Chains A and B, each alone.
Chain A
Amino acid sequence: MPSEHAALLKDSVADFIERGMDIARVRALRDTPGEYDRAVWRQMADLGWLGISIPEAYGGMGLGLSEAAIVAEGLGRALAPEPYTACAVLAASAIAASDNEALKQDLLPAIAAGERIAALAWQEEPGALDAGHIAARATPFEGGYRISGAKRYVSGAAGADAYVVAARSDAGLVLGVVERDAAGVSLELQAIADGRHFGTLALDDAVLPREKIAATGEAAGAALARALDRASAIASAELYGVMSRALEMSVDYMKTRVQFGKPIGSFQALQHRAVDLYIQQQLASAVLDDSLRALDAEPEAGVRAGIASRLKARCSDAAVRITREAIQIHGAIGFTDEYDAGLYLKRALVLAAWLGNGAQHRRRYASLALKAQA
């Protein structure tokens, strides 16, 4: 990994968040249907962030997940609602694996430039970690496929211009791009804990034109699996940012809040509690570094899935625990909407659940390990 890039990127992320990403902005965007700020999104594009892991041939920087994670961690710290992981990593990775050159030339540079936003609409059942459960039908016709079915838990759906949809034909999985305003496509939004939305996409004979097919059969399955593992890793980096800021807030509060004539941080019961949260954060940090390095070496699919699951399990559980305990450490003020601790808890809850929580990923890790032994 070019550490020069990493160092520059770290500075640039820290600077950007310092200048333009206060929590007041996050609060103002909560529960709005637009969900995030298009102007901020374009600034992120101008900084090159949206194309970090998009190949240079398609307008990106062609860097690895290690670099994308730096951005995600910063966005996590700032509770940015922008769909960086959902669009610039998850949807972009699914498209980037395609051998449809025209589609890639059409979509990837536009994603990198912040001009178009794509969301991956693949999941139908809660807790699903792979394509096995997909029931949406893709029926071939001379112009491509007609797709029918319902896609749920689509992150970044609210502001997306296009959806990368996964459906099943008699010949296997089909992955392709459907425009938001295409006939037979309708979107409903469900409010989620962190003030954003999951989209439910109803597809009723929606046309996936031939030229917008990204992949079919095994290639589609492989592209989807890789995209999900990569996005799990970057969501983990975002979770790491969330937990790190929440821990800082808690420790700072313990130093300043006085009760019984002393800072509450002088009480051993709270000190040891804070230390246990610190240990979780340190573990998450170490696992994140190891995992990103390993994933950037593009291991084979089974190994990759195990790495992604170990990482998502640790970061999900650590972030939820740290943000949950941040409320307790702050006491009643932590339970108010006015105080930021609750925002961190809610973002942690959402990012932990999205793409599979700790328990689900531990189960997948176990079944992968057993398969490898057999």
Chain B
Amino acid sequence: MAAAAEKDYNALSDDAFRAEVRAFVEARYPEALRFLPRRVRMSEIRGWWNTLSDHGWIAPNWPSVWGGMALDPGKMVIYLEEMERHGVARAADQGITQVGPIIMKYGTDAQKEYFLPRTRTGEIIWAQGYSEPNAGSDLANLQTLAVIDGDDFVINGQKIWTTLAHDSTHIYLLVRTDREAKKQKGISFLLVDATTPGITIRPIRNIAGHDEFCEVFFDNVRVPRDTLVGCMNEGWTVAKALLGFERLNIGSPRRPQYALMRLEMLARAKGLFDDAGFLDRYTAIKLDLEDLASLYGRYVEQVKRGEPLGHDVSSLKIWAMEAWQRLTDLLVETGAEDGVIEGAQDVKGVEIDFLAPFYYARPSTIYGGSSEIQRNILSKYVLELPS
């Protein structure tokens, strides 16, 4: 375990900090994992996790007392930008980005002492147990039940679309603890060891052929009552305490850059920049992404000023994800018959995988609040249209 870095990164100039992050990432990040058009598995990324953790850099958003970098918003943006610029894959980092901050805010001292150091080192890897077969966009309809029995909760039910659950050691769960209460009320937040008897994790193959998400079954799973975070029946509030950088990061204009680079290489190889029809469509998407960068930059400035993000940031997610999809649509179309051949192939000297980025972009308008849910949010809270 690394000594917690006591260095005050916020005292560095932006340029100096950026240079330090860039140099580190370029020197240490595995070349084979750059710009991966899919979620990375823990077995592939463990080495990089350890590298970051040993360096004291795994938790940029955490305070130094828990071994984080304690970055201010401006430095945080630089950290994320440099990771994305280099095409660093996102590990199963929900312990760092989500449940860690939740434990810090709502957890007991015992929970903090136990979970935070182990989460940082990667000894504990978290999966998010929120969605259920009948609770997708309507998450508050979740039915997985936790009943108090003596000093334990007994959990029965099913979670689904649990990303990388098969790589996790623990699951943070939203469960129903009061069946009488309406919807959002009556939900509690639990921290559950994934090896507890009665838990079955089954990977689900996605259309890209990867086992990235899972279904998780709970059959009389008995966990101690001290797995509860925050108060009974207030789990919805606990879960909603997230956001901020998560919401900003999802709209990053750098995410589509792998697909964009490939499309440009392909267009050059095939001479398509001389084709007015292609050029019009390519330029429209290129400008959609450039303009996304302007919109993103505006929210970055807001975060840097320390202002909370409002509901209007949903427009960033909608535009980023839909523009990314339009780009990968054009990539496949430009490939013609080559575009539907599975795996990387050589097209006029360019090594290109058409389908992987296309598949990778597909769920982006579904996860993290579908584009339709985001539109509902904007309609209700920003345009203030009636319901």
Contacts and interface: CB of A to CB of B under 8 A. Distances in A.
Interface of A: 251, 254-255, 262-263, 265-266, 268, 271-272, 274-276, 278-279, 282-283, 286-287, 289-290, 310, 313-314, 359, 362-363, 365-366, 369-370
B43 interface: no
B199 to A, nearest CB: 38
B379 interface: yes
Contacts of A255: 384-386
A310 B387 contact: no
Interface string B368-387: 00001001101100111111
Given A286-B295, A310-B290, A314-B291, A272 B283 contact: no
Interface of A, secondary structure class, is helix
Contact of B379 (A275, A359, A365, A370): A275
Contacts of B375: 271-272, 275-276
B183 to A, nearest CB: 20
A365 B280 CA distance: 10
29 contacts: A251-B383, A251-B385, A263-B386, A265-B383, A266-B387, A268-B376, A268-B379, A271-B383, A271-B385, A272-B372, A274-B383, A275-B375, A275-B379, A276-B375, A278-B315, A278-B383, A283-B292, A286-B297, A287-B294, A289-B294, A289-B298, A290-B294, A362-B284, A363-B279, A363-B280, A366-B282, A366-B283, A366-B286, A370-B273
B213 interface: no
A268 B384 CA distance: 13
Chain B contact patch, size range:
20 to 34
A357 to B, nearest CB: 13
Interface string B200-234: 00000000000000000000000000000000000
Contacts of A262: 386
Nearest to A291: B294
Nearest to A263: B386
Nearest to A314: B291
B319 interface: yes
Interface in B70-110: none
B383 A366 contact: no
Nearest to B314: A275
Interface string B279-322: 11011101100111011011000000000000010010011000
Contact of B295 (A271, A282, A359): A282
Given A265-B386, A272-B375, A278-B378, A359 B290 contact: no
Given A255-B384, A283-B294, A286-B295, 18 more contacts: A255-B386, A262-B386, A265-B383, A265-B385, A265-B386, A271-B375, A271-B376, A271-B385, A272-B375, A278-B378, A279-B315, A279-B378, A282-B312, A286-B291, A286-B297, A287-B294, A362-B283, A366-B282
A313 B383 contact: no
Contacts of A274: 379, 383, 385
A30 B378 CA distance: 37
A168 B385 CA distance: 56
Contacts of B318: 275, 279
Contact of B283 (A263, A275, A365): A365
Contacts of A289: 294, 298
A286 B251 CA distance: 14
B219 to A, nearest CB: 38
A286 B300 CA distance: 12
A283 B280 contact: no
B216 to A, nearest CB: 32
A305 to B, nearest CB: 14
Given A271-B375, A362-B280, A287 B291 contact: yes
Nearest to B298: A286
Nearest to B377: A275
A268 to B, nearest CB: 7
Contacts of A282: 295, 312, 315
Given A263-B386, A363-B283, A286 B294 contact: yes
A365 B287 contact: yes
Nearest to B295: A286
